[in-house]
């Protein structure tokens, strides 16, 4: 199989409810995703897929839904959530709701589902996606890795679980 990879970048804010450290605070990232597509044979112009098609289809989806807005967890009890949602909607940037914590892992799983659906008509396979939350931290989805279903977030009212260690991770 031959593959090609298109990098896409966007800016968004989030927080990780019940995070043990500073990621529970509102903050932003310059996200990047590397979309790798594969095909058994190249097209008649020597490509797996034109990079511009990935940018147009997947990048277009990202621009519309994830860029310059907030990626929020449904049921996040933070009092700022409805204010952020209303403020962004007024600015023409509706927030993006996720059923699970908006971590790099859950974002890449979400993006994999989207990219597979959007690129299906082209006939190429989405082989893998690496999503960078910071220059040093990323999560990867691979077509062969199952399951890709995201973990459902616990009820917002549940008490935070005690941390198994004294480590205070920071994403």
Catalytic amino acids? Answer: 23, 68, 133
Minimal CB distance to Zn ion: which residue?
171
> Within 13 Å of residue 136, how many CA atoms lie on the same side as its CB?
2
Q: How far is the CB of 110 from Zn ion (least distance, A)?
A: 15
Stretch that binds Zn ion, among 48-56, 120-128, 139-147, 163-171 (CB under 5 A): 163-171
Size of the site for Zn ion (CB under 5 A): 1
Specify the residue, 21 or 145, whose C-beta has the smaller distance to Zn ion. Answer: 21
Q: How far is the CB of 27 from Zn ion (least distance, A)?
A: 6
* 3-state helix/strand/coil string of the chain: CEEEEEEEEEEEEECCCCCCCHHHCCEEEEEEEEEEEEECCCCCCCCCCCHHHHHHHHHHHHHHHCCCEEEEECCCCCCHHHHHHHHHHHCCCCCEEECCCCCHHHHHHHHHHHHHHHHHHHCCEEEEEEEEEECCEEEEEECCCCCCCCCCCCCCCCCCCCCCCCCCCCC
Specify the residue, 58 or 71, whose C-beta has the smaller distance to Zn ion. Answer: 71
Specify the residue, 30 or 117, whose C-beta has the smaller distance to Zn ion. Answer: 30
Specify the residue, 49 or 71, whose C-beta has the smaller distance to Zn ion. Answer: 71
Q: How far is the CB of 171 from Zn ion (least distance, A)?
A: 5
Q: How far is the CB of 139 from Zn ion (least distance, A)?
A: 12
Contact residues for Zn ion, defined by CB under 5 A: 171
């Amino acid at each position: 199989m031959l593959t090609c990879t298109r990098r896409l970048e966007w800016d968004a804010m989030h927080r990780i409810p019940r995070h043990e450290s500073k990621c529970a605070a509102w903050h932003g990232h310059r996200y990047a995703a590397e979309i790798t597509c594969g095909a058994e044979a190249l097209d008649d112009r020597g490509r797996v897929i034109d990079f511009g098609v990935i940018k147009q289809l997947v990048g277009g989806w990202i621009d519309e839904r994830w860029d310059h807005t907030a990626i929020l967890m449904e049921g996040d009890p933070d009092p700022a959530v409805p204010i952020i949602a209303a403020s962004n909607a007024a600015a023409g940037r509706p927030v993006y709701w996720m059923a699970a914590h908006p971590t790099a892992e859950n974002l890449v799983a979400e993006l994999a589902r989207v990219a597979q659906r959007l690129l299906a008509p082209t006939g190429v396979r989405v082989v893998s996606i690496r999503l960078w939350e910071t220059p040093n931290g990323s999560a990867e989805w691979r077509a062969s890795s199952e399951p890709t279903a995201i973990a459902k977030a616990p009820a917002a009212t549940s008490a935070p679980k005690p941390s198994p260690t004294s480590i205070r991770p920071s994403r």
